[in-house]
Structure 1
Amino acid sequence: MRADLARALHEDPSALADDDNLIDFGLDSVRAMTLITRWRQAGAQLEFAECAARPELGYWWELVRSRRQS
């Protein structure tokens, strides 16, 4: 996820901390929806609305991780 986000934002993956607000890095709704769609196709259980409500990589990863264990 970090690498995908970094590519979409034209940033180095190490520049994205888990608690950074991704909107501050320029993440817009179109890119977010594109990424979420790609991740959902790979099996992640994410919804755009929940990601938009808290645009932080660490939060998104926790959602994916917790739902894989269920």
Structure 2
Amino acid sequence: MALTLEQLRADVADVLGEDPQAIPLDENLVDYGLDSVRLMALAAAWRRDHGIEVAFADLAEQPALESWAPLLGVTG
């Protein structure tokens, strides 16, 4: 099952304890409380659930949903 933008946003919101609609696509997720432990947990979940291999450093370099979407092969 492909990872969608809606699911990506929901996954991030879940680890941050936020409403998905409160997470803007272009905002730095560190400002919302994303830390390295949560980021590693997200990457592990995407690997497990969607077969997505992505480097932690690539995600950490630009911690915004709009930057992650192409790295993760996000659809619609």
Normalising TM by the smaller chain, what interval? Answer: 0.7 to 0.9
TM-score by length of 1: 0.86
Counterpart residue type for residue 36 of structure 2: S
Give per-residue Cα distances to partners, 1:4-50, cap 9 Å, x unaligned.
11011111101111111000000000000001011012212311000
Q: Unmatched 5+ residue regions in structure 2? A: 1-7
Moved more, 21-30 or 41-50: 41-50
TM normalised by structure 2 equals: 0.80
**Greater relative CO, 1 or 2 (CA 8 Å, sep 6+):** 2
Residues 1:30 and 2:37 aligned together: yes
Name the counterpart of 2:5. none
Aligned length: 67
Name the Cα RMSD after superposition: 1.6
The reply to whether residue 46 of structure 1 matches residue 54 of structure 2 is: yes
Task: Determine which of 4, 7, 22 is the counterpart of 2:14.
Answer: 7
Runs of 4+ with deviation above 4 angstroms: none
Please list every run of 5 or more consecutive structure 1 residues that lacks an aligned counterpart in the other structure: none
